[in-house]
Amino acid sequence: MPATARKSAPSAKRTPSPERPERDATVDEIYERIYVAILEHRLQPGIKLGEEKMAEIFGVSRARIREVLARLAHEQIVELYPQRGAYVAKPTPEQARDVFEARRLIEPAVLKRLIDTVTADKINRLRQHAELEADARRRNDKRAVIRLSGEFHTLVAELAGNSSLARSMRELCMLTCLTIFLYDAPTAQSCRHDEHSLIIDALAKKDRARAEKLMLDHLDHIEGSLQLEDNGGEADLVEIFRA
């Protein structure tokens, strides 16, 4: 058969662009990417989260991005302004004090509930997390230190077994992270390397009074390290969310 009559071979499957995902990211996945970017101080307070740019980055519709931003706004992590768009929350000094006041009320209740239900497995999970923090400090991985320090408190709340408390702690820890970034509190100093381990030791002994005192002292150290300082509002979103 003449070569011209042959059926052409199917074209090779096109390789997905590294700039776009192979499938649409879900709302939960996009939310988590933003959450971690804030925890790791890659997204600064006041940064604009443009719908069009975010949709391009994650390869989804603007409607899906709006859904994510609405969820973040409900949790006070993002601020929405008519005709202007969405911005990473920028807590004022008064709002920062409110966050720490709320944490001082909630975290002792979390500790009480955890002590009432503590098991060897729960203590082991906390110690494993503390070891991850210690390893990140040894490697001088500042982003990991920041993220893991915040996640310790949410893990304590999750292990306590109250979903409402856990949700509140997740939101408060995120706002604390934004406050630390905004007011230039070095996490390596505000979250002292041994404080989480001492809290775990008190929990293991079911020493509620000591655990609560250590936690409140820990929060005092973080809040006491804050310094009022404003930051700008421009960032390269593509670089921040690059896989």
Where does the pLDDT of residue 242 fall: very low under 50, low under 70, confident under 90, or very high at 90 and above? confident
Residues 169 and 199 in one domain: yes
Measured in degrees and rounded to the nearest 5, phi and psi for residue 198 equal -65, -40
Residues 86 and 141 in one domain: no
- In total, the chain counts a number of residues equal to 243
The predicted-structure confidence for 189-221, as pLDDT tens digits, reads as follows: 556 678 999 999 999 999 999 999 999 999 998
pLDDT of residue 145: 86
* Coil, helix or strand at residue 154: helix
State yes or no: pLDDT of 243 exceeds 80.
no
The enclosing H or E element of 203 equals helix 195-204
CB atoms within 10 A of CB 236: 9
Residues 65 and 160 in one domain: no
Please give the residue range of the domain that contains residue 101: 93-224
The enclosing H or E element of 175 equals helix 163-182
State yes or no: pLDDT of 60 exceeds 50.
yes
How confident is the model over 53-58, as a mean pLDDT? 94
Q: What is the rounded average pLDDT for all residues in the chain? A: 84
Rounded Cα distance, 96 and 102, in Å: 10
Quickly list DSSP for 101-148.
HHHHHHHHHHHHHHHHH--HHHHHHHHHHHHHHHHHHHTT-HHHHHHH
Phi-psi region of 88 (alpha: psi -120 to 50; beta: other; left: phi over 0): beta
Residues 157 and 43 in one domain: no
**Model pTM?**
0.75
CATH, residue 141: 1.20.120.530
Residue 239 falls inside a structural domain = no
pLDDT of residue 234: 55
